[in-house]
Chains A and B, each alone.
Chain A
Amino acid sequence: MTTTVAHLRRGQKGIIKEFADGILPIKLLELGCLPGNEIELVQVAPLKDPIYINVNGTHIAIRRSMAALIELEITEDFPL
């Protein structure tokens, strides 16, 4: 199933798909947001934004608008 990071539920994981060049800030790539790496949604802020993800062992917070740009292939679906 294909989705974006913005649509993940807490605890859900997915593998980053190839994305078009130049969409994401270079900073995100440096922190490990690269195609093929796994992303887990760790926590959502109380007002639904920003969200807190674990990518490749690095924990970062990003805003929902940016998360919507990262496409994923869902790997682990928690029965929540």
Chain B
Amino acid sequence: MSKQIKVALIGNPNTGKTSVFNQLTGLKQKVGNYPGITVEKKEGVCKLPRGVKAHILDLPGTYSLNTTSLDESVVVELLLNKNDKDFPDVAVVISDVENLKRNLLLFTQIKDLKIPVILVINMADRMSRTGISLDIELLEEKLDTKIALVSTRKGTGIDQIKDLIADYKNLSITPNVDTTVIAPDYFEKLKSTFPKEDLYKLWLVITQDVNFMPIEKNPITIAASFATKSKSELKRLQQKETILRYQFINGILKQAYKVDINAAKGLRATLDKILTHKIFGYLIFFVILLTIFQAIYDWSSYPMDFIDESFASASEWVKDTLPPGVFTNLIAEGILAGIGGIVIFIPQIAFLFLFIALLEESGYMSRVVFLMDKLMRPFGLSGKSVVPLISGTACAIPAIMATRTIENWKERLITILVTPFTTCSARLPVYLIIIALVIPEGRFLGLSYQALTLMLLYLMGFGAAIFSAMILNKIMKIKSKTFFVMEMPNYKLPLIKNVVYTVWEKTKSFVLGAGKIILAISIILWFLGSNGFSDNFANADEIVSEQIEKQGFSDFNKTNIESTMASYKYALQDSIEKKAYALDHVAISDSLRLKEMALQEKATNQEIASYKLENSYMGYMGKAIEPVVRPLGYDWKIGIAVLTSFAAREVFVGTLATIYSVGSDEEDTIKNRMAAEIDPRTKRPLFNLASGISLLLFYAFAMQCMSTLAIVKRETNTWKWPAAQLVFMSLFAYIVALIAYQILK
């Protein structure tokens, strides 16, 4: 097999670089992170003519090689380090025909590094509409390169890029601009000190951290301590270099680039006027947010229900088909349920990224930042943080993934850290059942207390998010770009292919990245809840059966069976009287007996499950933490439910159902059973106003979701942040719940 040609795609943001990458590589892409940092690394393979293959690296978008952000320093460090395994054989600079002048700045810098470079001029389809004409031959000659005129929208010119890459050895590596003229003496001195090094490279190394110091800097092998000039002097020289390059570019474009001004205006100005309007702008953004919300909250519930049912029945099938035993249980209740818990997120992630891809691709997202910047700035958040914060109300997982669009690392990190405070849909079942139990019915200004409580919980979630963002903004010492300069790209119709790739790639990265962690934790939780070390656990079936034989069912189950039987009997007699069917006495008593037996069997199973859970590892853990949760007004049963709901908050209700040995499928029964629970110490209902409010507050603030922790680990590339989140949020929740309970009790 022949050696792969290493290609690096470089370009300004918004030039369609990703489209070019997608068209070159298709779905043969790999997305990861650069080691140690959170900059996304995209790679792929492209087949060239004559059986040659190219390894394509899509570098982060950058306006120049003067680094001001982590993304840009990734590009510069790669291009300066010949020993890097990704150092390109050939660089492909992607430019956009409408912004050619600005794009060429970066091109000339790369050319001066003496790396073979091809210029791609993208969006050729817009030339006629915007009145641009180009003299490609003259450009090739003056820039001393090869040019491919491409339209990723129409799919033209891609083959030409491939041909040029295959032919990269024939590219000239003569520099475009002689940078030394900006300070001849200085460069002369440099030359005599480092006679073997390339001067422009040296210059880039020296100026690399004038504007920006990366969090982690890879040492570059040449002595970078040539600090005979102060930072401000170096900055001034960088400005001179920029002006020099623009002079060079202007000189070329004057001859090779013509634009008919009259054709250029129009749609963009009109759209900008509407979309950034002080009323319509916000209104349109609000409607878009509502649609996103509706999609991830409502539309995705259909595929989610389907996934839920499919996995439940698959689990049943495994239990019925395989011989009973530990292994079968592991597959049915541990692994299958764990995978189900991952797959269930896919609809929400796909929907959210469908919208985000559309917003990004169309150029609208920049307008959102423009609209929201002033509002979000005091909290250390970006205008783009609005989308994750709002989508967090459905689910924090896709919301945290959506922070990828925020370029500034500090703003992004703060958004990631505070998003889990927003009230996600998994908290809703917990809220609803507790509110129904402890908040009295009644109205205030025509609004029911229960509805007001729910609204208050939502507001508190947002409040906690905003408030902690403000604090984090104050205390976090992260060097990042302090100024705000954002390009407002032209509006474009989104390319379906790019949108599909984004959705596909995000879903894949969730399943493969965070999915592993979620699966591992859910198997551990399952194991803890369905295994125990005591004899009580091993002999649960016999112990419970014996107990039932001696003492009968628990009071609640007894009355439950009696009342169900009574109403069944009544219904039966009623239908006989109405002549719905004719039955003799034997048939009636048979039917009643069967019904009773079924109810008893169900009750027995529920009591066994309850007994097992109580004596499992999880049960012991629940009892062990009782002293800790007692001051919050909880007993060990609630303690167990709090522990198990770490898998997902909504599991709280199901766990309580198991532990109170009622069927988890009847919500009213669970509620009645919870209402009937008496705290043996106070002789009052366990779920009273004080403990109820305490639980609500605990669930509002605690980091009760392993999937969120897993995705934060993936997005921040370290366990440090999810661990901090877990500790801080749980502690905060505990303190708030404690205060509430102690005041109200």
7 A-B interface contacts by CB (under 8 A): A26-B242, A28-B485, A30-B242, A42-B269, A46-B276, A52-B276, A66-B485
Q: Does A66 contact B99, Cβ atoms closer than 8 Å?
A: no
A50 and B484 CA atoms in complex are apart in Å by 9
Does B487 contact A59, Cβ atoms closer than 8 Å?
yes
Q: Identify the closest chain B residue to A63 (Cβ).
A: B484
CA A18 to CA B484, docked complex, whole Å: 22
Ranked 6 nearest A-B pairs via Cβ: A46-B278, A21-B236, A47-B374, A59-B488, A22-B235, A61-B486
Q: Pick from B186-194, B363-371, B447-455, B534-542 the stretch touching chain A.
A: B363-371
Q: Which of A's residues lie within 8 Å of B, judged by CB?
A: 21-22, 25-32, 34, 42-43, 45-50, 52, 56-63, 66
Chain A residue with the shortest CB-CB distance to B99: A58
Decide if A60 touches B374 in the complex (CB within 8 Å).
no
Partner of B484, one of A43, A48, A62: A62
The reply to whether B485 and A56 contact each other, CB–CB distance below 8 Å, is no
Contact B488 A52, beta carbon cutoff 8 Å: yes
Type the 1/0 row for B91-134, where 1 means its CB is closer than 8 Å to any CB of A.
00000001101100100000000000000000000000000000
In B349-380, the 8 Å CB interface with A consists of 366, 369-371, 373-375
A30–B105 CA distance with the chains assembled, in angstroms: 8
Structural contact, A30 and B101, CB atoms closer than 8 A: no
Contact of A27 among B232, B282, B366, B485 (CB under 8 A): B485
CB pair A50–B373 under 8 Å, yes or no, is yes
Q: Do the beta carbons of A61 and B488 come within 8 Å of each other? A: yes
The answer to whether A26 touches B282, judged by C-beta atoms less than 8 angstroms apart, is no
Q: A21-B236, A45-B371, A50-B484 in contact; A31/B242 too (CB < 8 A)?
A: no
> Do A45 and B242 have beta carbons less than 8 Å apart?
no
A23 to chain B, nearest CB (A): 10
- Contact indicator A43/B276 (Cβ below 8 Å): yes
**Nearest CB of A to B310, in Å:** 47
Least CB separation from A35: chain B residue:
B243
Closest to A48 in B: B374
CA distance A34 to B83 in the complex (A): 36
Inter-chain contacts of A61 with B (CB < 8 A):
366, 369-370, 373, 484-488
Check: B255 CB closer than 8 A to any chain A CB: no
Is the pair B486, A26 in contact by a Cβ cutoff of 8 Å?
Answer: no
Residue from B105, B246, B282 with most neighbouring chain A CB atoms (10 Å) = B246
B282 proximity list for chain A (CB < 8 A): 46
Chain B residues with CB below 8 A from A48, complex form: 374
Chain B CB count within 10 A is highest, among A30, A47, A56, A61, for: A30
Given A22-B232, A60-B486, A66-B485, 15 other A-B contacts at CB below 8 A? A27-B68, A29-B239, A29-B243, A46-B281, A46-B282, A46-B371, A50-B373, A52-B272, A57-B99, A57-B102, A58-B487, A59-B490, A61-B484, A63-B483, A63-B484
Judged by a CB distance under 8 angstroms, whether B497 is at the interface is no
Is A31 a contact partner of B238 (Cβ separation < 8 A)? no
A34: chain B residues at CB < 8 Å are 242-243, 246
Does chain A have a CB within 8 A of B30? no
Residue of B236, B272, B370, B485 touching A25 (CB-CB under 8 A)? B485
The reply to whether B366 and A43 contact each other, CB–CB distance below 8 Å, is no
**Do B243 and A49 touch across chains, with their CB atoms under 8 A apart?**
no
Name the one of B272, B273, B487 contacting A60, with C-beta atoms under 8 angstroms: B487
| Chain B interface residue number, banded | 35 or more
With A26-B238, A49-B373 in contact, do A66 and B484 touch (Cβ < 8 Å)? yes
Residue interface bits B39-67, CB-to-A below 8 A is 1, else 0 = 00000000000000000000000011010
Alpha-carbon gap, A50 to B371, bound state (A) = 8
Mask: chain B, 226-246; 1 = CB below 8 Å from A; 0 = not: 000000100110110011001
Q: How far is B489's CA from A21's CA once the two chains are assembled, in angstroms?
A: 28
Q: Which of A42, A43, A62 has the most CB of B within 10 A?
A: A43
Cα–Cα, bound, A22→B373 (Å)? 25
Given the complex, which residues of B lie within 8 Å of A52, measured CB to CB? 272, 276, 370, 488
A26–B240 alpha-carbon span in the complex (Å): 10
Q: Complex Cα distance A48/B101, Å?
A: 30
Asked whether A45 lies within 8 Å of B483 as measured between CB atoms, the reply is: no
Instruction: Tell me if B211 counts as interface (CB < 8 A to partner A).
Output: yes
Residues of B within 8 A of A50 (CB): 370, 373-374, 484
Question: Within the assembled complex, what's the spacing in Å between the Cα atoms of A58 and B371?
Answer: 19
Q: Complex formed: what's the CA distance from A58 to B243 in Å? A: 16
The docked-state distance in angstroms from the alpha carbon of A39 to that of B238 is: 22
Bound CA–CA A39/B342 (angstroms): 51
Cβ of B243: which chain A residues have Cβ within 8 Å of it? 29, 34
Q: Whole-angstrom distance between the alpha carbons of A27 and B487 in the complex?
A: 11
Partner of A29, one of B242, B277, B281, B487: B242
Q: Which of B211, B276, B371 has the most CB of A within 10 A?
A: B276
Contact of B272 among A29, A42, A47, A58 (CB under 8 A): A42
Give the chain B neighbours of A29 by CB distance below 8 A. Answer: 239, 242-243
Residues of A within 8 A of B273 (CB): 43
Contact with A along B477-495 (1 / 0, CB 8 A): 0000001111111100000
Q: Is B211 a contact partner of A25 (Cβ separation < 8 A)?
A: yes
Cβ–Cβ < 8 Å partners of A63 in chain B: 373, 483-484
Q: How far is the CB of A10 from chain B (nearest CB, A)?
A: 10
- Complex Cα distance, B269 from A43, in Å, reads 10
The distance in angstroms between the C-alpha atoms of A32 and B490, with both chains bound, is: 17
> What residues of chain B lie closer than 8 Å to A57, measured between beta carbons?
98-99, 101-102
* Structural contact, B246 and A27, CB atoms closer than 8 A: no
* Alpha-carbon distance between A43 and B485 when the two chains are bound, in angstroms: 15
Q: Please, which residue of chain B has its CB at the minimum distance from the CB of A19?
A: B239
Which B484-527 residues sit within 8 Å CB-CB of chain A? 484-490
Nearest-Cβ distance from residue B233 to partner chain A, whole angstroms = 9
With both chains docked as a complex, state the minimum distance between the C-beta of A34 and any C-beta of chain B, in angstroms: 6
Contact status B63-A21, CB under 8 Å: no
Annotate B188-232 by CB proximity to A: 1 below 8 A, 0 otherwise: 000000000000000000000001000000000000000000001
* Interchain CB contact under 8 A, A32 and B101: yes
